[in-house]
Structure 1
Amino acid sequence: GGGGGGGSSTDDDDDGGWNDPCHFLSTQKHECDWISDAFPKKGVSKCIIRRDVDGNEERVPSALHLSSNNLKGSIPIEIGLLTSLKEILLSFNGLRGSIPETLGMLVNLRRFIVDENNLSGSIPHSIVNLVDLEMIQIPGSDLSGSIPPTIFNLPKLLSINLERNNLSGTLPDFTGNQVNILSIRLSTNQLNGTLPWSLGNLVQTQLLTLDNNQFTGSIPPSITNLTQVIAIVMNDNQITGNIPTDIGKMRSIRSVSTFNNNMTGTIPSSLFKLTDIYSLNIGNNQLSGTIPTELGLLTKLQILDLSNNNFSGSIPDEIENITTFFLLSLLQNQLTGVIPKSLAHSSNLRVLDLSSNRLIGNVPLEFKMLGDLQILNVYNNDLTGEVNILCPLTENNLDSIGADCGGISPEVFCQCCNFCCDREDFCSFV
């Protein structure tokens, strides 16, 4: 059973009982009054009145709110007897064991929120009986096995969060009633296989996180049907193929991350129709071609990471239209030409990494205006001149400068750099 009432627990290693006993299991109080004295919403709360089989009125609990209460042990199978429950909130406790199959008896349940526990075992298949379920949230436990495919067919489901578990298997075919799902969060599991074409049926979905899994194959072109999606996160998988050609159809999107995959091809021109996007993170792939001049159309960009790809050509002058950069990382490409001085117009710029390219010329004097800059890396290029003009910034926020300032005859002179490379690309901290 669970942690027990009145501040006691059945666990031998429990060192202090519940944070708030909530009068739990009190024989002097009706179960609808097993609530916290200090926090009236904590405990068995939101009781409702219904009639029993004889027509008599009775008070029954509709919510179990015991988050952050130092609960130990497992979720008892008897929880299935509380058929009037609409909400179960058990987040931030020390619950262990599996989720009981009896959960499927709670046919009135709307929200099951059990963040950050130590639950194990598989997701009970009986959960598909919960036809009123709107939100299932079990991140940060140790759940294993596959996700019951029919869970996505629950007619009222709006949000599912199973992040940071050990779930395996493939994604189901989204061919049922999933049109209402707004949020699907499955990152940091062991999910594998290819992304199904039926992902394109999730036309109302606003948030899709599949990062840090083992997905393979390409992103299906049908994903561009997700015209309501605000953020897609697919980094740290083994995804191949191109960025979908029609990505520009996803007009609501604000953030895209496919960092650290094996994607190839060029940046499709339709991407530059996404004029509200503020974060584009497609680094650590095998993308190639030039950085299109249309980049300047993305005037709300705050984060742009194209690092560790095979981009060539110069940094387009049109980048001057973007004055909102917070992070710009173009390191480890084959970029040529000079560093655009217009980057100094991004007064909020914190991180600028242009290292390991073939850039020439000087570090622009205008960079001395970047008062919020914290990291500047320009090493392993063909730059000349000096960076000393930026040294006063180290008295403000600038923590790290890396340049080709090493060796007997450095290419760049810098008295305040703390990371220097020489002409043989030998680098060291100073």
Structure 2
Amino acid sequence: MGLFQFLILSLSLLPFSLFEPLLATSTPLLDDALSLLSFKESVTADPFNILASWKWNQSSSDHHCSWYGVTCHPLSQRVISLNLTVDSSAALGGTLSASVANLTQLRVLSIPHHNFSGEIPTPISKLLLLEVLELQGNNFTGYIPTHVTRFRSLRLLNLSSNLFTGPIPARLIGSGKLTEIDLSNNQLSGRVEVGSKSCEFLTHLKLSNNFLTEPIPTEISKCWNLKTLLLDGNILEGKIPAQIGKLSELRVLDVSRNSLTEKIPKELANCLKLCVLVLTNLVDEDSSLDSARGEFNAFVGAIPFELLLLPTLEILWAPRANLAGRLPSTWTESCSLRVVNLGQNYITGVLPEGIKMCKNMTFLDLSSNKLKGYLPLQLQVPCMLYFNISRNQISGFLPRFGNHGSCDTSIVSSNVNNQDILKAYLGLGLDRNDWIIHDFSWNRFVGALPLFFVGDELLATSNDHNFSYRLLLSNNKFNGSLPIGMVPQCNSFKGFSINLNANKISGEISHAFPVDCLRLTDFEAAYNQFGGSFSGLAISHLVMLQRLDLRGNALSGPLPHELVNVKSLKWVLLGRNNMTGEIPSQIGHLTSLVVLDLSQNALTGFIPPSLTKASGLETVLLDHNKLYGKIPSSFSTLVSLTQLDVSFNNLSGNIPHLQRINGCDAFKGNKYLQSCPDPHSASPANLPVPLDVHKWRSRKKIKTLIIAAVTCASVVLCLLAVIILFFAFGRKKLTRLSSLRRKVVVTFADSPSELNYDNVVRATGNFSIQNLIGTGGFGSTYKAELVPGFLVAVKRLSIGRFQGVQQFEAEIRTLGRIRHKNLVTLIGYYVGEAEMLLIYNYLSGGNLESFIHERSTKNVNWGVIHKIAIDIAQALAYLHYSCVPRILWEVDTEPEEKEKLLELLRLASICTVESLSVRPSMKQVNSSKPLRFAFKFFCLFKFVIKLFEAEISKTNRKIPNSTEFSLQHTKSLTVSRP
């Protein structure tokens, strides 16, 4: 072969050598395209056709690289990223196809916030090059596959907000090169395990809102690069391990909504970069649930001073954490605190002067503690979006807070740019508040009120965010007159509200009323010493005014006619004054009116029929006046009216039929008014046919004789009974009766000396509508705060009702001997000539029945059910085994199930002891009982579901998910427990 022929042959073979790699890679390219098309076939919902471009094209081998959400390698054309991030309105639905595992060069698989369901397919473990796996915000179920620990290149794993159950894979935390793990908002159970190897790469660990149990592992200190640790919303118990102090890079720590106890370790102060510390939280991230998970952390002692003085700490959030001790007095200029919530604790001492060094503080809540002393003069109140020191014992004059320098009102400092820190702020609910609130109420302040200013920067923030301003000064001892222009900047806000109730402020109301505040929404100055005529007050221009409360003052003169022109008014409360004249006939112009209280004045004239034009009217109090004429029949058309009192007037005529009001107390004291009809009497249609007149007269005489005879006999028997009782019981009973005349409250438990009849009446505002928290068949219940921090619920019953007396006696016999934290406690009772009072401890969270009825139209949160189940078990165990004598609660179940339930209660009685030294561990329970705790836990859930069904059936409602599904779901939650 010649040289020329050899060259020709070589050139002819050259194209085949060039295309040989392409032919070799054509099969993987085809596999990638087919895998994507298989993924598309598993999608059952695509409302916006975002996968419309995913179509087969034979003319191009790499056509799939141009499909939406697909990214290919620039050289090999292999798929390296599948990212389907879309708006929620365009969310896809279906299952995750196992064909994704054929994308063997895939680095990123991100399909967040869709509606994919089912389990993660096992073949996905073949994606050995995967670096990012984001499946958050879907409906994936089952266990988290253990093969995720095999992804040696995986850096980010986000499976949050799904329905995963079972334990966290044992070697997941600390495996490979993982820098971020987010498993929050699932239904994971078991303990938190940290791998045996060092997890030096992990920087963010988020396990919030699951069912994780047992103590926080001390091995967490191996993750020494950790910046974010979120463990909130679980069932973790024990103490915060001191080893967390070894996490020198830690910025955010949230352990709220668990069952943690013991002291807060001072070693946390070694986390020199700590910015956010959340120990307890009463705000739920889901505003629709409103703190439904509850807070069960109860720490011991005080927060270590070293922790409070950390120069980097910006958020300290620990309301109702059972904290005691004092606040440090040595804050320096390096203080970075911006948000501090230590409300509802037991902190004592004074509010230290050093706190003024925290010049960037925008949120301070120290309410419901035991603080005394005076307020620091240079406290930056004008710069604070939220300032609350209510319900303490702080005294002295209220200083005039000036604006000492500029205000930094930003919630987050400029040097903080961490997304997780921002999220921590939002999780505390700070972003949802559209009010600037300064609350000084329920203290012991004296003297005249100063002018109140708001910082210029805060005003600018208000203009940007449409903030309203609420100034609360009630229940102090302020005196003197209100300064003119008390809040000079009141028109700079979206709205302005002021509460001056229960002080000793005096002066002419015409001078005190802030008529210049055009954006006034609420003016509350009840129970002060304001006087003068109210009639000449020009208020018609206050078009935003909704609440006007001037009860319990010394106002005189007629009602101002301009009042009826403020059509935004919903609450008009002017009772207990000296007002005269007539009720304006134009009061019907107040069509938004909900509550009208003009009681205990000297008003005359008719009740205007136009009043009933306010279709949403709920309460009308006109008692103890000098009104005359008829009660307007149009009151019968008000379907929302629940309270009407026209007693002790000069009314006449008939009593109209009221749809939601029973009883006669509301009409007594009107001698010209028709007798109140007995609600049990026969209606006119059912009355018997009249007899012959003569027969009727003869029968009337016989009846008269019989009645006279019976009356005489009754009188004689009563006299004999009194004599017998006198000699049988002696002066001891007479002493008791005399004490009742003195209105003495009989108490069962330790209670403050303020628990007497007069204080109860005063604390309830004379049983005012403002303190009404519920009504029932036997009476109404009111909230009362006898002393700061001591709340009670007062049930008021009428002696005129026989059933009410029976209910009263039954509750005294039963509740009088019950003492348990999950059961309502009867503190005391009072019996008078016309009323009876039952006084209970006040439960701010309501009761189980109301919770069920409010939640029955929504998805039932299993974390809520779990904690409710524990509380019910504790309460029932107490009733069955600890209360003397025992109170047996009947369960309508099969005998076998009842035995299991009783066995469960026995277990609960030993597993819910508060003392850690007495309460057995879970391992001890398992070893001592042949039946697995998981099955007992399942029985407990089954019992609670039956309870939910029974309660919801009262209102013909249904649980959103079927019971069978719920039981299976619950069982899957518990079978993995040790």
TM interval, short-chain normalised: 0.7 to 0.9
C-alpha separation between the residues in 2 aligned to 1:356 and 1:132?
Answer: 53
Q: Which 10-residue stretch deviates more, 277-286 or 333-342?
A: 333-342
Aligned residue number for residue 87 of structure 1: 276
Aligned counterpart in structure 1 of residue 667 of structure 2, from 392, 414, 420: 420
C-alpha separation between the residues in 1 aligned to 2:191 and 2:277?
Answer: 15
Report whether the alignment pairs 1:72 with 2:261.
yes
C-alpha separation between the residues in 2 aligned to 1:226 and 1:173?
Answer: 16
Aligned residue number for residue 14 of structure 1: none
Deviation (angstroms), 1:154 = 1.1
Aligned residue number for residue 192 of structure 1: 395
Q: Which 10-residue stretch deviates more, 411-420 or 342-351?
A: 411-420
Give the AA of the match of 2:552.
Answer: N
* Cα separation, partners in 2 of 1:255 and 1:27, compared to 1, 3 Å: farther
Report whether the alignment pairs 1:215 with 2:404.
no
Deviation (angstroms), 1:226 = 7.0
Which secondary structure state, in structure 1, belongs to the residue aligned with residue 507 of structure 2? coil
C-alpha separation between the residues in 2 aligned to 1:305 and 1:200?
Answer: 31
Percent identical among aligned pairs is 22
Q: Deviations over 1:250-292 (max 9, x none)?
A: 3236100010011100232671111111111001000011224
Aligned residue number for residue 863 of structure 2: none
Aligned residue number for residue 249 of structure 2: 60
Aligned residue number for residue 289 of structure 1: 532
Give the AA of the match of 1:263.
Answer: I
C-alpha separation between the residues in 1 aligned to 2:204 and 2:406?
Answer: 43
Which secondary structure state, in structure 2, belongs to the residue aligned with residue 391 of structure 1? helix
Deviation (angstroms), 1:207 = 2.3
Aligned residue number for residue 192 of structure 2: 23
* Cα separation, partners in 2 of 1:21 and 1:345, compared to 1, 3 Å: farther
Scaled by the length of structure 2, the TM-score of the pair is 0.37
C-alpha separation between the residues in 2 aligned to 1:129 and 1:24?
Answer: 41
Q: Which 10-residue stretch deviates more, 162-171 or 190-199?
A: 190-199
Q: Deviations over 1:346-401 (max 9, x none)?
A: 3232211000111111111112222211110101111111224243145x111111
Residues 209 and 233 in structure 1, CA contact (< 8 A), matched pair in contact too:
yes
Which secondary structure state, in structure 1, belongs to the residue aligned with residue 504 of structure 2? coil
Which secondary structure state, in structure 2, belongs to the residue aligned with residue 88 of structure 1? strand
Report whether the alignment pairs 1:103 with 2:307.
yes
Which secondary structure state, in structure 1, belongs to the residue aligned with residue 514 of structure 2? helix
Which secondary structure state, in structure 2, belongs to the residue aligned with residue 287 of structure 1? strand
Which secondary structure state, in structure 2, belongs to the residue aligned with residue 280 of structure 1? strand
Structure 2 unaligned residues grouped into runs of 5+:
1-167, 169-187, 211-215, 229-246, 281-294, 410-435, 460-467, 659-663, 672-796, 801-978
Residues 179 and 203 in structure 1, CA contact (< 8 A), matched pair in contact too:
no
Deviation (angstroms), 1:411 = 5.4
Q: Which has the higher contact order (CA 8 A, sep 6+)?
A: 1
* Cα separation, partners in 2 of 1:389 and 1:335, compared to 1, 3 Å: same
Q: Deviations over 1:232-262 (max 9, x none)?
A: 1010111111111123623236100010011
C-alpha separation between the residues in 2 aligned to 1:110 and 1:238?
Answer: 35
Residues 272 and 295 in structure 1, CA contact (< 8 A), matched pair in contact too:
yes
C-alpha separation between the residues in 2 aligned to 1:249 and 1:36?
Answer: 48
* Cα separation, partners in 2 of 1:114 and 1:26, compared to 1, 3 Å: farther
Matches within 5 A, 1:199-278: 206-220=436-450, 222-223=451-452, 228=459, 230-247=469-486, 249-251=488-490, 252=493, 254-267=496-509, 268=511, 271-278=514-521
* Cα separation, partners in 2 of 1:208 and 1:33, compared to 1, 3 Å: closer
Aligned residue number for residue 572 of structure 2: 328
* Cα separation, partners in 2 of 1:379 and 1:183, compared to 1, 3 Å: same
Give the AA of the match of 2:206.
Answer: I
Residues 103 and 126 in structure 1, CA contact (< 8 A), matched pair in contact too:
no
Give the AA of the match of 1:181.
Answer: M
* Cα separation, partners in 2 of 1:231 and 1:135, compared to 1, 3 Å: same
Residues 320 and 342 in structure 1, CA contact (< 8 A), matched pair in contact too:
yes
C-alpha separation between the residues in 2 aligned to 1:286 and 1:340?
Answer: 25
Which secondary structure state, in structure 1, belongs to the residue aligned with residue 253 of structure 2? strand
Residues 110 and 135 in structure 1, CA contact (< 8 A), matched pair in contact too:
yes
Bigger radius of gyration, 1 or 2? 2
Residues 23 and 34 in structure 1, CA contact (< 8 A), matched pair in contact too:
no
Aligned residue number for residue 852 of structure 2: none
Q: Which 10-residue stretch deviates more, 412-421 or 277-286?
A: 412-421
Give the AA of the match of 1:279.
Answer: D
Residues 382 and 455 in structure 2, CA contact (< 8 A), matched pair in contact too:
no
Give the AA of the match of 2:555.
Answer: F
Which secondary structure state, in structure 1, belongs to the residue aligned with residue 478 of structure 2? strand
Which secondary structure state, in structure 1, belongs to the residue aligned with residue 316 of structure 2? strand
C-alpha separation between the residues in 2 aligned to 1:22 and 1:125?
Answer: 40
Deviation (angstroms), 1:197 = 3.0
Give the AA of the match of 1:422.
Answer: G
Residues 114 and 137 in structure 1, CA contact (< 8 A), matched pair in contact too:
yes
* Cα separation, partners in 2 of 1:127 and 1:174, compared to 1, 3 Å: closer
Residues 217 and 238 in structure 1, CA contact (< 8 A), matched pair in contact too:
yes
Higher helix share: 2
Q: Deviations over 1:200-231 (max 9, x none)?
A: 769979421000111111102x3267785811
Aligned residue number for residue 12 of structure 1: none
The two structures, once aligned, show a CA RMSD in angstroms of: 3.3
C-alpha separation between the residues in 2 aligned to 1:24 and 1:106?
Answer: 30
Give the AA of the match of 2:496.
Answer: R
Scaled by the length of structure 1, the TM-score of the pair is 0.81
Residues 482 and 512 in structure 2, CA contact (< 8 A), matched pair in contact too:
no
Give the AA of the match of 1:95.
Answer: F
Residues 306 and 330 in structure 1, CA contact (< 8 A), matched pair in contact too:
yes
C-alpha separation between the residues in 1 aligned to 2:406 and 2:568?
Answer: 30
Aligned residue number for residue 145 of structure 1: 349
Deviation (angstroms), 1:125 = 2.9
C-alpha separation between the residues in 2 aligned to 1:386 and 1:95?
Answer: 62
Residues 386 and 412 in structure 1, CA contact (< 8 A), matched pair in contact too:
yes
* Cα separation, partners in 2 of 1:69 and 1:296, compared to 1, 3 Å: same
C-alpha separation between the residues in 1 aligned to 2:548 and 2:314?
Answer: 39
* Cα separation, partners in 2 of 1:248 and 1:127, compared to 1, 3 Å: closer
